[in-house]
Structure formats: structure tokens, C-alpha cells
Amino acid sequence: MKKPFLKIFLTFLFTTAALLAKAQIGYDYAQYDLGLGGAYNQVYGDAEKVIGTPSVAVSLNYNQTPYANYLFEIQGGELKGGDKNSVSGRYFRNRFTALVFRGQLQAGEIIDYSGSGFMNGLKNLYISSGVGYVLNDMKEINRKSNTTPQITWGGLDKSNELYIPARIGYELKFFNQYNQPSFKIDIGYQVNFDLTDNLDGFTAGRSKDVWSQISINLKFALGGVTSYRKTI
């Protein structure tokens, strides 16, 4: 009777020891993160002058692996551009809300970084894309030409639009006492390609609006700890 019990006990002991050893050398990670951040925005549209404006963001992140991530983000802030005293007179101030879903692939998912300091530093570089939906609300807009008052530019004061985000960035990972990444700093540059032409409230010209963001996000591990196939 004692031998089967001893065998089960030793199996449990060795399995637990193996799992603890695995955690100590950095295989484990949390599957969920909460992100908080901000961005510096610029709109390249139908208003000649480009003006930088701030926005804030909250995100929920699902980490399929430490280097393959899916993010749902809510952004809010202002977009602004133009000058009432310019030749065209075009000026806008847009109070926007955006919903964004992105997939994010970091280099560590596809490269071998175990034997190289350079590759180890490169592993957190990522590319990302997905789909966004922005709700535009023009708080200020001038559609009348200064040089030819009878000319009025078309556009909408309120609109909802789809856009495609394209992002490149770097994610700094900070580890807890169990060598799990518990805190991250995500620094990125993102270009959003508007699928229509009302982000700035003007429908002028042939090109659709483009909106860029330089952002920094702080991510906090929430839980759902699992293991990866190699050290993180």
C-alpha cells in the first residue's frame, strides 16, 4: 500500500519542482494586460496647417504568447488643424472617440534570440494592424473661403468612419520576482488611414484623411498565467 502512495507523492513532488524551476527561468507570462496611455495626434487632411493634439486611451490586451498579442482599445481626445486666417480659411476642432482592434506581432515570436545580445534586444520590436472605428464631433469648424466668400467647403459636423491602423513599436518588459513580465511600457508610432473623408469635417480634394499618433502605453498584467515554449 505504501509503494503506490510513495510513487504518487514522488511524481507530484518532481512535477511541482519542475514547474517551479520552469517559472524561475522565465517561461511564464500573464495572458491578460490592462493598458493606460496617451498619444500625440496629427491630422493630414484638407486643412493646410497641421496641429498636434493629445488623446488618452484604455486597452484590454490578450497575449496568445508573450510576443503575439490582440488588443481592444478605446481612445478619446481632440483632433485639430487648419487656420481661420489662411487662404482657404479651413479650420476644425474635432472631439473624437475611437474604438480599435489590433493584432500585434513581436519579433520574439519568429526569431531565435537565445544566443545573441542584439537579437535579445530586437525581440520586443513589433508591427501591428487591425481595424478602427472613429466617432467625429466637430466642436469648431470654418468652411468658408477667406479669399472667395461665396465658396463653402462641404463636410459633416458629425460622422462615424472606419479606418485602418498601421503601427510599429517597441514593448519594454519588466519582470517580477518569478521572472514573469508584470509591467510593460509600449512606445509606438501609428498611421491611421481613413476609409472616407470626414475626419477633419471637410470633403475637399481627392485624397482621404490620414491621422498619425505617437503614443506611450503602460500595461499591467492581470492574470491567467500560462507558459511559453522558450524563455521570455
What whole-number distance in Å separates Cα of residue 150 and Cα of residue 147?
Answer: 9
Residue 204: CB partners within 8 Å, gap ≥ 6? Answer: 46, 90, 153, 154, 155
Which string of DSSP letters, residue by residue, matches 80-130? EEE-TTSSS--EEEEEEEEEEEEEEEEGGGTS--TT-HHHHHHTTEEEEEE
- Which pTM does this prediction carry? 0.84
What whole-number distance in Å separates Cα of residue 3 and Cα of residue 12?
Answer: 14
pLDDT at position 8 is 55
Contact 178, 24 (CB under 8 A): yes
Of 2.40.160.20, 3.40.50.720, 3.30.830.10, 3.30.379.10, the CATH number of 2-227 is 2.40.160.20
pLDDT at position 24 is 45
Residue 149: CB partners within 8 Å, gap ≥ 6? Answer: none
DSSP 148: -
- Encode the chain (232 residues) as per-residue pLDDT tens digits: 445 554 554 455 445 444 444 444 568 999 999 999 999 999 999 998 999 999 999 999 999 999 999 999 999 999 999 988 887 889 999 999 999 999 999 999 999 888 888 998 899 999 999 999 999 999 999 988 877 777 777 889 999 999 999 999 999 999 999 889 999 999 999 999 999 999 999 987 778 999 999 999 999 999 889 998 888 7
Place of cell 459636423: 157
pLDDT at position 151 is 77
Enumerate the domain spans of the chain: 2-227
